[in-house]
Amino acid sequence: MSKPTAFRAHDYLAPRYWPTWLGLGLLRASLWLPYPALLALGRGLGGLLYHLVPSRRRVVLTNLRLCFPQMPEAQRHRLAKQNMAATATALFEGALSWWGKDERLRPLYRIEGLEHLQQARAQGKGVILLGGHYTTLEISGRLLAFHVPGLQPIYKPARNPLFEAFMASSRKRLFDDLLPSSEMRRIVRSLKAGKVVWYAPDQDFGRKQTVFAPFFGVATASLTSTAGLARLAAAPVVPYYSERLPGKAGYLIRLLPALKGFPSGDAVADASTVNQTIENQARQVPEQYLWVHRRFKTRPEGEPSVY
C-alpha cells in the first residue's frame, strides 16, 4: 500500500491558485449544511450553470440528441437541466466524500449485490469493478470503501495542480491506493496482488488503444483496456452501479454478477459488452450520467465532428 501523498499547502500560494482555494473553501463550508440543503444548493448551482456556461450546455444537448434521438426536444432540454443540476450536486457530494465523518455517511445509502463481489474474490484473484462516469462516482467510492478492503480506483489526474494534489491526498486517505490510468503495468500488478481495482473506462481518449463500438447506438471510440487488464491478470469483472435516490433518501450502490465469457478475445465485442454494461445504468437514470463530457469527440474516419 502506498503512503498517502503529502499535501503541502504552501506549495500552492501563487495568485493563479487563489480561485481554486476559494472553491475548495466553499466546498468545505458546505458541510455545515444539512444534507437536504446541500442537495438543494447543488440543484441551484446547476440551474445557474445551465444558463451561464452555454458551451457545456451545448455538449450535454448534443450528447442527448445522439443518444435519445426519439426524445421530444422540450423533454431533452428538461433532461439537460436535470443533468447539469446532478453534475453540480456531485461537487458538494465530493465535499462529503473528502471531509464527511463516517457517522454522517453511513445512514445515507444502501448496498445490494455485495455477494457478487465476494464470490469473485473467492477465486483468489484480483477483481475489476466496472463502473461508469455517473455523477455519484465520488461519493459512491467513499461509501463502497466501507465494504471493500483493498479498493484501488483507477483515475485520470486533474490538470489543475492544486486540485490534483488535494484530490489525490484526500482520496488516498480513503482508499488502499490510487492508480493513474496511464500506469497499466502498475494496475496489472495490483490485480495480481489480489486487489479490487475500480475502473470507469467510458471517456474519450482518442484513437490510441481504442476500437469503435456502439454506445447508445452511436459508434464510439472505446478503450480496449478493460478486456486487456482482465486477460493479463485473469481477473473477473464485476459491474458496479451507483445512483442518487429521490429526495433525501441518499444513494443506492448495486453490484452485479461477474461478466461471463469476458474477455472473449474479440476487441470490438468486448468493448461493446463494456459499453452496454455502462449504458444499462445510464438509461435507468439518464439525468445522472456525466453528459458534460464530449464522449463522441473522436469519430470514425471521414465522419465530421458532432460538437
Residue 17 lies in a domain: no
pLDDT in tens, 62-79: 999 999 999 999 999 999
pLDDT value at position 9? 83
Cis status, amide bond into 214, omega within 30 of 0: no
Residue 211 lies in a domain: yes
The stretch 222-230 carries a mean pLDDT of 97
pLDDT value at position 176? 87
Q: Which residues contact 241 (CB under 8 A, 6 or more apart)?
A: 131, 132, 134, 252, 253, 254, 255, 256, 281, 284
Residue 156 lies in a domain: yes
Distances in Å between the Cα of 256 and the Cα atoms of 112, 117, 201, 238, 244 are 9, 8, 17, 6, 18
The stretch 216-242 carries a mean pLDDT of 97
pLDDT in tens, 174-225: 898 899 999 999 999 999 999 999 999 999 999 999 999 999 999 999 999 9
Is residue 201 a contact partner of residue 274, using CB atoms and an 8 Å limit?
yes
Question: Residue 19 and residue 16: Cα distance in Å, rounded?
Answer: 7
Is residue 107 a contact partner of residue 245, using CB atoms and an 8 Å limit?
no
What is the extent of the structural domain holding 173?
A: 108-288
pLDDT in tens, 122-170: 999 999 999 999 999 999 999 999 999 889 999 988 899 999 899 888 8
Residue 296 lies in a domain: no
pLDDT value at position 1? 47
pLDDT above 70: residue 32: yes
pLDDT above 70: residue 2: no
Rounded mean pLDDT of the chain? 94
Q: Map grid coordinates 458496479 to a residue.
A: 240
pLDDT above 80: residue 3: no
How buried is residue 21: exposed, middle or buried, by Cβ count under 10 Å (0-12/13-18/19+)?
middle
Residue 41 lies in a domain: no
pLDDT value at position 206? 92
> pTM value?
0.93
Residue 21 lies in a domain: no
pLDDT above 70: residue 251: yes
Q: What domain count does the chain have? A: 1
pLDDT in tens, 258-276: 999 999 999 999 999 999 9
pLDDT value at position 5? 56
